[in-house]
Chains A and B, each alone.
Chain A
Amino acid sequence: MSALAAEVEKQIDALLAAPTFSLEPAVQQARLLRVLQTELTYAAERNERLRQYLDAWPTDYRTAASLADLPYLPVGAFKASPPLLLTATENIIRTLASSATTGQTPSRVALDSPTSRRMVKGVVVIASDFIGSRRRPYLVIDTAETLAGGGELGARAAAIQGLRPFATEMACCLSGDGAREPRIDEARLAAFAARWGAVEVLAYGFTYVIWQHFVQPLRERGLRLQLPNIRVLHSGGWKRLQEQAVTREAFAAGVAEVFGCSADRVLDFYGMVENVGVIYPDCAFGHKHVPAFAAVIVRDPLTLRPVAEGQRGLVQVCSVLPTSFPGFLVLTDDIAEVIRYDGCACGRRGISFRFVKRVPHAEVRGCGNIETLRQRPVAA
């Protein structure tokens, strides 16, 4: 390991060991800036194409005064083939792919052992702050086939695996082979519910999978479980549910109804493979927070500068965790609103934000009928 690599490793571990949500924001930002500058130097040494991008950036990352001045990659850059790597291919132990819809190219990020290890640790320290660190029975609202990805893991499987450190045992309650729609494995689900009853258990599924393949079928059949102490985590976005006019409140109420728990035990989190190891669960006030080893910058689409509190913009995620791919600073295609830059009533320090929506795809059409491009931008 080179001296620079060792320095990067040391700095990342220090941030991972720091209090997850209680660092004073200015202190956290300063520490993060230093680590990310080191990581960018490390990345530039390892990838000529990336170095070229960093060199073209209008400001020099080595002398940047704030996180917002550092060069970021748009999320679409992770669709590049071959994927952007900062490590030799023989060091790659797993590739994660995003959940692209039909016809779209998924993002791909390659993990080496150190990145994979940090990814697990990152999810654990964040999730522990919301659900506690105790291990418990883990109900996966998905099929076992989803997890059988071999060397390449999809977004659903990655999220399921990310919560595995919280599991004493794991049960998948849907069945299906990918060719047909998943169906509830009633025998397995009933056995799980009967066995664990009032025990605190963890459940996770993609938002639309939970709704479409679990809540709706159970409701249609009038089936109710008795798992009052369950914690249901879900992620994957709201687009499909919005198309069905399902609100967050209706979703939480529906999930609570079928599990026989209260709606506040249903927890939505935001995450993406390009930002692996960082998840953003909702706090009790419905806001998302950022751990010590990461940052979120919400940028005004007009200027790309950070927006003020109460304004909306494009989400940039920052993370010190990856060293096998350049996922330190990623401009996403998501829109979020900054609630506050510090002082959320939940007690967590730093930025609190709310995910608003995915940026709609804009087609280049010449004198085309691209009406949406002339509508008011989301940034106030």
Chain B
Amino acid sequence: MPELVQQFDSARDVTAAAQRVRERALERELTPAQVIAMLERWGESLRGPTVDAIPGVTFLRLWLRRGTLEPMVVRELGVAGLNGEWHEEHSTRLRAYPLGVVGHWPAGNIEIQPWLSLSCALLGGNACLVRVPAGLTVQTRALIEKFSEVAGSGALLERICLASFAHERADLQRAMAAAVDGAMVWGGAEAVTEIRALPFPPWARLAVFGPRLSVAAMDGASWSEGAQRQTWCRRLARDVWQFDQQACSSPQALFLERCTTGDLPAFATMLAEAFEAENRLHPRASIHPALTSAICLARASWLITDSAHRALFPATPDWTLLLGAGAAVPSPTQGRTLSVLLVDDLREPIARFDGMVQTLGLAVSDPAKEAALTHAAGRTGVDRIVKLGRMHLFGSPWDGADLVRPMVRLVRHSPANTD
């Protein structure tokens, strides 16, 4: 089997790879419906020892289902777009065409992100050149090996190039940017800024998904009463555990609305139990020492800063609850470190959100109140307001932007024989 993640060492290699996938894509058109069929078969094949342990692979299987992708394409490109057909609009017609080659710069800390990014551009009919982050090479190779085993996947595979080269190789980064017609960029502020500054062609379109963070919020009834609160705790634990709390959709803080029946220590104990249970189910296999240091420092700093602060944590770095009060979104620590903050009114923290907050996970018992909070959050920059437990459900729009449409061109045809 040829090496599916290619090691590049020269700008010429990168340029040639881009040209190769461009030619393959031009040789054979694939409609979104055809791409969906192939991706679905691939998703179904993602089982077995080499892929089961990859964080997020269960989610990737769900993402690649027709039931997920088809509605997204229909919403963004219309029914005609799903089948690669023209859509009549008054006296003209419109049809989505691929940009050409889309370059992908996924983040290095989400194992399945190269595939989430890639699939969006493939749905638009594009060829793809993906820079695989060094830490994700093994997982990415395991996933594409499965893809290569799927019958009929060749037409899609030949328009994908997975490239591996050091982040520091500015010459290769520049070559990659110069060879693409569009880019999907995911990363922290530093990475995003660096990539934006690369010499893309003037016509290239960039979809940039920069650094964001997410928070959760519960109204008084949800955290203080009944058996339901235990369910909320389990859902929240799941949201914290997925992607090791490093995704932009991972909750970093939980705001609790004060209420007369609320008992914070009791709730914190219940949440700690949920965290402990989730940790038993999904223990870490490894951790970077810097994250361990950061977790230890977060615990100490929280407690020695304010005598009103409390914290719950085990002797291991597995999880941490920092308990206190306040409406400001604290600086995230990650590593399953959740700040649990009491507020008088959930509108207080929401009013202080800025564009940094991507997702608000809600547990609110009153639909009218939820609607009001959703509206307030939307106005202050939040792009996703979802039920607690569903904070990571990747879908379109993401970060407030479509996922397929930015990587296609809507071509207008005004027939010559019309008035």
Which A residues fall within an 8 A CB radius of B? 48-50, 52-53, 56, 58-59, 69, 72-74, 76-77, 80, 84, 301-305, 313-314, 331, 333, 335, 359-379
Contacts and interface: CB of A to CB of B under 8 A. Distances in A.
B411 interface: no
B135 interface: yes
Given A366-B213, A368-B107, A370-B109, A304 B292 contact: yes
Interface stretch (B74-82, B226-234, B299-307): B299-307
Given A366-B212, A368-B211, A369-B133, A53 B303 contact: yes
A74 B333 CA distance: 14
B8 interface: no
B353 to A, nearest CB: 15
Contacts of B287: 301-302, 377
B293 A74 contact: yes
A314 to B, nearest CB: 6
Contacts, number: 182
A72 B135 CA distance: 32
A366 B211 contact: yes
A365 B135 contact: no
B191 interface: yes
B212 A49 contact: no
A58 B289 contact: no
Q: Which of A69, A84, A359, A376 has the most CB of B within 10 A?
A: A359
A367 B107 contact: yes
Q: Which of A305, A331, A367, A375 has the most CB of B within 10 A?
A: A367
A372 B288 contact: yes
Nearest to A335: B289
Contacts of B246: 366-368, 370, 373
Interface size class of B (residues with CB under 8 A): 35 or more
Given A48-B307, A301-B317, A56 B188 contact: no
Interface of B: 105, 107-111, 113, 133-136, 167, 186-191, 209, 211-213, 246-248, 284, 286-294, 296-297, 299-301, 303-307, 309-317, 331-334, 358
Contacts of B294: 362, 364
A48 B134 CA distance: 46
B191 A373 contact: no
A53 B111 CA distance: 35
Contacts of A371: 108-109, 133-135, 167
A373 B304 contact: no
Contact of A77 (B110, B190, B301): B301
Nearest to A47: B304
B311 A56 contact: yes
Contacts of A304: 292, 296, 315-317
Contacts of A375: 134-135, 288
Contacts of A50: 304
A39 to B, nearest CB: 17
Contact of B313 (A56, A314, A377): A56
Given A74-B300, A369-B108, 17 more contacts: A50-B304, A52-B309, A58-B315, A301-B289, A304-B315, A335-B289, A365-B109, A366-B332, A367-B113, A367-B186, A367-B248, A368-B187, A373-B291, A374-B133, A375-B288, A376-B286, A377-B287
Contacts of A361: 290
A368 to B, nearest CB: 3
What are the 3 closest A-B residue pairs judged by CB atoms, nearest first? Answer: A368-B188, A365-B188, A374-B135
Nearest to A78: B300
Nearest to B312: A56
A353 B316 CA distance: 23
B286 to A, nearest CB: 5
